[in-house]
Amino acid sequence: MISDQPKQILSEGMSLDDFMRLSNEQPFELIDGRIIEKMPTGLPHNVIVRAIFRLLDPFVVQHDLGEAFAENAFITEERTDWVRGSRVPDIAFYRKERIQHIMKAMPAVIPIVPDLIIEVLSPTDNLFDVQDRIMFDFDNGVKQIWLIDPQKQGALVYLPDANRPTRFGEDGVLSAPAILPNFELHLGAVWA
Average pLDDT over residues 42-51: 93
pLDDT at 1 exceeding the cut of 50: no
Q: What mean pLDDT, rounded, does the chain reach?
A: 90
Distance (Å) of CA 116 to CA 22, 123, 146, 169, 184: 26, 23, 8, 20, 13
Largest CA distance in the chain: 45
140-190 residue pLDDT tens:
999 999 999 999 999 999 999 999 999 999 999 999 999 999 999 999 999
Q: How big is the chain by its Cα radius of gyration, in Å?
A: 16
Question: Would strands 91-95 and 66-70 be described as parallel, antiparallel, or unpaired?
Answer: antiparallel
Domains annotated on the chain, with CATH? 41-191 (3.90.1570.10)
Average pLDDT over residues 122-131: 86
Secondary structure, 3-state, 62-106: HCCCEEEEECCCEECCCCCCEECCEECCCEEEEEHHHHHHHHHHC
pLDDT at 5 exceeding the cut of 50: no
67-81 residue pLDDT tens:
999 999 999 976 667
For 156, phi then psi, to 5°, come to: -120, 135
Record the pTM: 0.90
DSSP string, 123-170: TT--HHHHHHHHHHHHHTT--EEEEEETTTTEEEEE-TT-SSPEEE-T
Question: Would strands 91-95 and 116-120 be described as parallel, antiparallel, or unpaired?
Answer: antiparallel
